[in-house]
Structure 1
Amino acid sequence: SFPFTIIAVGLFTNLVEFSLLRSFPFIELTSPNFIGTVLLVFVNHYLAFKYFNKVYHTFAEVLSYFTLCLWLIPFTFFISLSAGDNVLPSTVQPLLTPNPDHDVLSHYMTKGKKKRSVLLTIFENCKDFVMPSRTKRF
């Protein structure tokens, strides 16, 4: 019983979001497709709020509509773009002078350790403070 405008704008938004997949890992924030997607997401939210303000539905129905029809694809794009940050390098730049100490994997694994070790230490200390574990006694 949704109005035709909500269905049409939702389908058009999905088509514009689908066009982002042509250059997927490289999404330009100034491209017309990305700007159109952001604008259409706001239009979809406006139409949905307007509709659910007039017609009563349970909270679970409204939440499931927003989750599945409005938020699923944008959040999936956002999560998949940030998920590639922790991937091992797939190509190696050829070195002019081979260095036996320069291993791509070990270089990649130790590259960000200085930044991460402080954060991991803080989280480990917080975890030990909040949930102390039993120590093994031999």
Structure 2
Amino acid sequence: MAVVLQLLSIAGNVLGFLFLTLCIASGLYYISEIVEEHTEPTRRFLTRTIWAIEIILLLLLIFDKFPIKLTLFTMASHMLYYQNLKKFPFISLTSLTFLSSCVVVVVNHYLWFKHFNEVDIPPQFRYDPNYVPPRRATFSQVSSFFAICIWFMPFALFVSLSAGDYILPTTVEQAKKTDDITDLNDSGNATKFRGRTVGLARVVIHSVRKYIYSILALFGIQVQRDYDNLGI
């Protein structure tokens, strides 16, 4: 038995997964910083992308005979994503629109995954020797559909939207007058808030990083923290 080779394979898979995770996190962080500096072009891009996906879904419904109810549900879900752009780039993590969008993403994924994996023969054709089952989509076709029509907009919104909890309500108005805004907290200490938004992706990555730091601290491992304040 190739015991050492098996262990080496497991180690390689773990390292590959960690490397891929770090690459994705770094890419999200970098893209989020770019979006923070170009919010208006990003909003226009996301708006046009939503309408482009709506057209693609309509074409799939007409020419490829996609299921009517499921396609219309996906089109309606993109209109729900569009509601998040009304106050772009700010978003409240507890708003009904944002929470509904999160639920719709999961439901969309489940329903389409179930649709493409449907292999049962209809009861009326079960004993018909002349029945020809419909052609199943290839893996590349299914993955492309999911990437463009199901995952792209939720992923783009996650990277582009900003967490409003990290920003003072007067930041946008006062940003034109001064680069930094000073606020006195309950203890009387001054805290500076820069006149810029904080991307939702950066907030999530920052929170995960703080959690990892706390776990390492339990084992006596001290890591230098360069970005505790998200650049604010």
TM interval, short-chain normalised: 0.5 to 0.7
Larger relative contact order, structure 1 or 2 (CA cutoff 8 Å, min sep 6): 2
Task: Say if 1:9 and 1:40, in contact at 8 Å, map to a contact too.
Answer: no
Name the counterpart of 1:40: 104
1:77: how far off?
1.1
Name the counterpart of 2:204: none
Name the counterpart of 1:26: 90
- Whichever structure has more helix as a proportion of its residues is 1
Write the distance in 1 (CA, Å) between the matches of 2:159 and 2:72: 26
Name the counterpart of 2:80: 16
1:59: how far off?
0.3
Write the distance in 2 (CA, Å) between the matches of 1:30 and 1:93: 27
1:92: how far off?
2.1
**2:172 is equivalent to residue 92 of structure 1:** no
Name the counterpart of 1:62: 142
Name the counterpart of 1:3: 67
Name the counterpart of 1:124: none
Write the distance in 2 (CA, Å) between the matches of 1:5 and 1:21: 25
1:43: how far off?
1.2
1:94: how far off?
7.5
**2:155 is equivalent to residue 75 of structure 1:** yes
Q: 1:93 to 1:7 in 2, by over 3 A?
A: same
Q: Which runs of 5+ in 2 are unaligned?
A: 1-64, 120-135, 163-174, 183-193, 195-224, 228-232
The TM-score, its normalising length taken from structure 2, stands at 0.36
Q: What's the Cα RMSD here?
A: 2.6
Name the counterpart of 1:115: 226
Sequence identity of aligned pairs in percent? Answer: 39
- AA partner of residue 226 (structure 2): K
Could you report, residue by residue, the CA deviation over 1:25-64 in whole angstroms, capped at 9, with x for unpaired residues? Answer: 1111111111111111111111101110116210000000
- AA partner of residue 74 (structure 1): P
- How many residue pairs match? The answer is 94
